[in-house]
Structure 1
């Protein structure tokens, strides 16, 4: 593709992070590098479309690109979950006319109007009056009669169905586990290969999130678990799920079929609001710039959709087919980055945001108080930078959730923590900073900020750290996980 022959010029990234799905259109290292320089901070690997053998080269390429451009890049492995699909159909598909009759059969369809699915038990779990949705909800059929080996359906909304398309069953309680045997195997691979985030599809309860966490931890991984909200059951237990997960993805494709599409905008806003209350990052996904599969420009509605996600407080927006199989992945990333940057300007100057839930984010009460103070100080002093030294990333996340518009730089002695920051709104992870000593960090930040043009002599920088970072590290009154120091530094303007 011609766009990949362009020079690798890094653009200024929006505070709202961009997640891009890897696929045939962007799987080569040169292509990934351009997307990273165009605004991508997190790359998503969709396990519904390829297994570990096909995805491992993508992991290796992303890690190599990260080294080549000297910038942390995170990897999100998206487990397929219990997504039920149609079996094989004629290449041209089948047109389902309104009021036509079809049958869901357990196996071996023998007529043109007999359909088989990847979930053989589905016929046994349907009830009279259930609605069965095909092709992302564009075709719907009503269950009118049940037999031991089949269910008779009548078409309510006409359209074409094709092989392997997804099936949604709004309101139907299914016994299929959230984590299949294949998902379990993929989660183990993700943990062992060292990815940063693992997302769980079709979450229905916090227990399912805990189960995936156990799988990840038992394989010696610190990857964070992202719960995808795409079932009505998840909305009914939203606060419990948000409290248990490390982050949330609003998976609007399936959610917009599982619930009335008219409910979708308010559901999205509610999910974001609850994530704010619990200080959990939230990703908005599906069809954000869908027309850019083919077009070099989005529709006005799509541009507005991205802007509204930013205004609502999303930490990240995700591109799916736009980058995986679209014709213009770089342009899609650049467009999302531009929309986010323009929209974010309207938010500058607003009061910093505080948590509405006690112990949100699992922070020590001292750290939480210090973070609140640091954000207020940075805003009132018009600080050019806020720098946070964070071992686990929790303090960086807490600063991110305040939505302080002073640029936030995250430093850590752990590369894995820097990669977690790739999902945190407004936080730029910085490699090679001395994160273990506060005096050295101040000196390094002073020189670095002047060198890259983020600060000049006389400007102020707010640095958040812990007493364990002071010289000699003699203060043992609090655990090393507590951030109890805020330093306001006036830039000296010396460049090493």
Structure 2
């Protein structure tokens, strides 16, 4: 079976339920669909007798020759022959073109090719192991959703995932992912990962997405001197569109708090990113302190003076909805308060307000999925209200009280400080604003 009953039981009891155990809903979960923007994604498996607890790897030296084959007989790779799970790599790779492995740490150059093999020279060596990512910059590739991708997506829907992240190929086509699992998965957030030619069609991709991820392979697929411009453009576009944006660059790769790596983390936050992915050392390295250091750097960067950013966003607010959000958040600068509390059902009002908010935003909702997905947006702290909700917002004081209690417990404000209360309800309506 693609997904055995044992695997499903493990996900249910160990991962998804643990992610939802916190009463403040500070964890969300979703499958990462490996539908990459490249033809050859995964390398084969070296198996020279290593214990199962270790990842077998082979050292590739600069100047040596390496043969890449599509023959599954070499899935367990040999010293100078490796297998890749591509079907058309030999068709799209031109003689003399580059092949990057493991996020660009290793590079190969194509010297000879046949119907089912490539002979390459190692330009930059390194540790070649199982499941290493492969990038083919400049290659005209097409990677539709595979059967396994769809199975993974359906599994996430069945287990109640909050979001799903998928690679977006060169265009905007991504079948079976945009609400592609039927009515049951229609409210799952679809986060598109962009790292190559999708940059040039970013507006089209953003239009069909619930959020964007700036993937870590961006520096391989486009010229290195253009990377910071592309990232700032994508983050800025997402802020204007009101969509969450995640930066997935290789931060703290060396596990140290060096100036350059500290600046990388800070500038992603200063640019306006909602989330920063763990990658490299913070994700799977030997130094767990790297995670704490990354958190400290992000927190320091968030303590910026928001007035200048607020004024810049004010000039970019063309719609009435955004203008109303700006007006409400503008009161914070005139009369400083500790936090903003918003009552919302689908979450859209809280998502808009947090773009302009200089303070923590406590979003009180009775929708469980809305509360979980709110963590995709920077500065929102969701509170799940489980008691019956009154139709008249002015009578629903219990929701306000619930948000106030959480704010006091979390130290967002203290006795004597003011709190701005907002609601997505109109006085003459019994339904939330869009």
- Normalising by structure 1, we get a TM-score of 0.73
SS in 2 for 1:206: coil
- Map of 2:51 onto structure 1: none
Cα distance in 1, alignment partners of residues 305 and 386 from structure 2: 30
Give the 3 Å change call, closer, same or farther, for CA 266–351 of structure 1 in structure 2.
closer
Contact 2:247–2:276 (CA<8 Å) still a contact in 1?
Answer: yes
Cα distance in 2, alignment partners of residues 343 and 111 from structure 1: 47
Are 1:305 and 2:264 counterparts?
yes
Cα distance in 2, alignment partners of residues 407 and 358 from structure 1: 21
Count residues in correspondence: 410
Cα distance in 2, alignment partners of residues 136 and 466 from structure 1: 44
- Map of 1:430 onto structure 2: 383
Q: Could you tell me how far 1:411 is from its partner in structure 2?
A: 1.0
- Map of 1:141 onto structure 2: 108
Instruction: Give a deviation string over 1:321-349, Cα, whole Å, max 9, x none.
Output: 545534454x4443233222222223343
Q: Could you tell me how far 1:281 is from its partner in structure 2?
A: 1.1
Which among 10, 18, 25 is matched to residue 71 of structure 1? Answer: 25
Instruction: Give a deviation string over 1:358-377, Cα, whole Å, max 9, x none.
Output: 88xxxxx5543322221112
Are 1:237 and 2:201 counterparts?
yes
SS in 1 for 2:30: strand
Are 1:60 and 2:25 counterparts?
no
Matches for 1:128-207 after TM superposition, within 5 Å: 128-177=95-144, 179-207=145-173
Q: Could you tell me how far 1:444 is from its partner in structure 2?
A: 5.2
Cα distance in 1, alignment partners of residues 302 and 17 from structure 2: 31
Which among 107, 110, 124 is matched to residue 91 of structure 2? Answer: 124
Contact 1:194–1:221 (CA<8 Å) still a contact in 2?
Answer: no
Contact 2:367–2:384 (CA<8 Å) still a contact in 1?
Answer: no
SS in 1 for 2:214: strand
Give the 3 Å change call, closer, same or farther, for CA 225–462 of structure 1 in structure 2.
same
Contact 1:278–1:356 (CA<8 Å) still a contact in 2?
Answer: no
SS in 1 for 2:308: coil
Contact 2:162–2:372 (CA<8 Å) still a contact in 1?
Answer: yes
- Map of 2:365 onto structure 1: 412
Are 1:290 and 2:249 counterparts?
no
Greater relative contact order (Cα < 8 A, sep 6+): 1
Contact 1:198–1:224 (CA<8 Å) still a contact in 2?
Answer: yes
Are 1:219 and 2:175 counterparts?
no
Contact 2:46–2:78 (CA<8 Å) still a contact in 1?
Answer: no
Q: Could you tell me how far 1:440 is from its partner in structure 2?
A: 4.4
Are 1:372 and 2:317 counterparts?
no
Contact 1:131–1:170 (CA<8 Å) still a contact in 2?
Answer: yes
Cα distance in 1, alignment partners of residues 163 and 368 from structure 2: 14
Q: Could you tell me how far 1:418 is from its partner in structure 2?
A: 0.9
Give the 3 Å change call, closer, same or farther, for CA 78–391 of structure 1 in structure 2.
same
> Which runs of 5 or more residues in structure 1 are unaligned?
1-46, 360-364, 484-496
Cα distance in 1, alignment partners of residues 315 and 171 from structure 2: 23
Q: Could you tell me how far 1:167 is from its partner in structure 2?
A: 1.5
RMSD: 3.2
Higher mean alpha-carbon deviation, 311-320 vs 71-80, is at 71-80
Contact 1:90–1:163 (CA<8 Å) still a contact in 2?
Answer: no
Give the 3 Å change call, closer, same or farther, for CA 441–462 of structure 1 in structure 2.
farther
Contact 1:389–1:465 (CA<8 Å) still a contact in 2?
Answer: yes
Q: Could you tell me how far 1:53 is from its partner in structure 2?
A: 5.9
Contact 2:25–2:372 (CA<8 Å) still a contact in 1?
Answer: no
Give the 3 Å change call, closer, same or farther, for CA 356–275 of structure 1 in structure 2.
farther
Cα distance in 2, alignment partners of residues 186 and 332 from structure 1: 30
Cα distance in 1, alignment partners of residues 20 and 219 from structure 2: 37
Q: Could you tell me how far 1:168 is from its partner in structure 2?
A: 1.1
Give the 3 Å change call, closer, same or farther, for CA 457–162 of structure 1 in structure 2.
closer
Contact 1:387–1:409 (CA<8 Å) still a contact in 2?
Answer: yes
Cα distance in 2, alignment partners of residues 97 and 370 from structure 1: 60
- Map of 1:482 onto structure 2: 433
- Map of 2:348 onto structure 1: 394
Q: Could you tell me how far 1:200 is from its partner in structure 2?
A: 0.4
Higher mean alpha-carbon deviation, 439-448 vs 187-196, is at 439-448
Instruction: Give a deviation string over 1:104-124, Cα, whole Å, max 9, x none.
Output: 333145975333211133223
Cα distance in 1, alignment partners of residues 407 and 272 from structure 2: 31
Runs of 4+ in 1 over 4 A off after TM superposition: 50-54, 109-112, 321-324, 355-359, 433-437, 440-444, 453-459
SS in 2 for 1:237: helix
